[in-house]
Amino acid sequence: MQGSIFSERNYLTYLCGSIFSTQGVWIQRMTMGWMMWDQTHSESWLGMLAFLMFFPSILVGPLFGVMVDRINRRTAAVVTSIILALLSLLLALLVCQQLVNELALLFFALAIGVANSAYQSIRLSLVPELVSVYNMPKAVAINAVLYNTSRFIGPIIAGLLIKYGGNTMAFAVVFAFYIPLIVVLLLLKLDDRKKSVVEKKFTFFMDIKAGVNYALNSDLILRLLILIAVSAILGRGLLEILPAAADVLYNRGVEGLAWLNSAAGVGAIIAGLLLSSLSSARLLLVTRLGVISSGLLLLMFSYSNSFELGLLMVGGLSFCATVCGVGTQSLIQVSVPSAFRGRVMSLWGSINMGGGALGGLLFGVITEFMGYPFTFITVGLFSVFFAFVASYRIVLPSKIL
Top-ranked range on mean pLDDT: pick from 20-24, 156-160, 173-177, 350-354: 173-177
CATH code assigned to 5-187+203-396: 1.20.1250.20
- Report CA dihedral (361, 365, 366, 368) to the nearest 10 degrees: 140
Average pLDDT for the chain: 82
- The type of residue at 138 is K
Q: What mean pLDDT do residues 254-282 have? A: 79
255, 249, 266: which is closest to 307 by C-alpha? 249
395, 215, 228: which is closest to 324 by C-alpha? 228
Task: Report pLDDT for 88.
Answer: 95
Task: Report pLDDT for 331.
Answer: 82
Query: Is residue 249 scored above 80 in pLDDT?
Result: yes
Helix 136-164 to helix 166-187 angle, to the nearest 10 degrees?
A: 150
Top-ranked range on mean pLDDT: pick from 119-133, 141-155, 256-270: 256-270
DSSP 8-state symbol, 398: G
Separation CA 356–CA 358 (nearest Å): 5
CB neighbour class for 320 (10 Å; exposed up to 12, middle 13-18, buried from 19):
buried
50, 181, 192: which is closest to 112 by C-alpha? 50
pLDDT in tens, 312-344: 998 999 899 888 888 888 788 777 776 676 677
Residue 280 pLDDT grade (very low, low, confident, very high; cuts 50, 70, 90): low
Separation CA 56–CA 175 (nearest Å): 21
Task: Report pLDDT for 196.
Answer: 45
Separation CA 264–CA 82 (nearest Å): 28
**Percent of residues, the chain, with pLDDT higher than 90:** 19
Percentages helix, strand, coil for the chain (3-state, rounded to 5) are 85, 0, 15
Query: How would DSSP label each residue in 246-302?
Result: HHHTT--HHHHHHHHHHHHHHHHHHHHHHHTT--HHHHHHHHHHHHHHHHHHHHHHT
As a three-state string, the secondary structure of 19-53 is: HHHHHHHHHHHHHHHHHHHHHHCCHHHHHHHHHHH
Q: What mean pLDDT do residues 153-165 have? A: 85
Task: Report pLDDT for 194.
Answer: 45
Top-ranked range on mean pLDDT: pick from 60-64, 238-242, 297-301: 297-301
Give the count of beta carbons closer than 10 Å to the beta carbon of residue 196.
10
In Å, what is the CA distance from 9 to each residue of 5, 171, 186?
A: 9, 31, 14
Question: Phi and psi of 168, rounded to 5°?
Answer: -60, -45
Question: Phi and psi of 394, rounded to 5°?
Answer: -75, 140
CB neighbour class for 216 (10 Å; exposed up to 12, middle 13-18, buried from 19):
exposed
In Å, what is the CA distance from 145 to each residue of 17, 76, 104, 139, 323?
A: 15, 25, 32, 10, 11
pLDDT in tens, 60-97: 766 776 676 667 778 888 999 999 999 999 999 999 99
Buried b / exposed e along 85-118 (16+ C-beta atoms within 10 A): bebbbebbeebeeeebebeebbebbbbbbbbbbb
In Å, what is the CA distance from 156 to each residue of 89, 109, 145, 152, 327?
A: 21, 21, 17, 7, 28
Task: Report pLDDT for 120.
Answer: 77
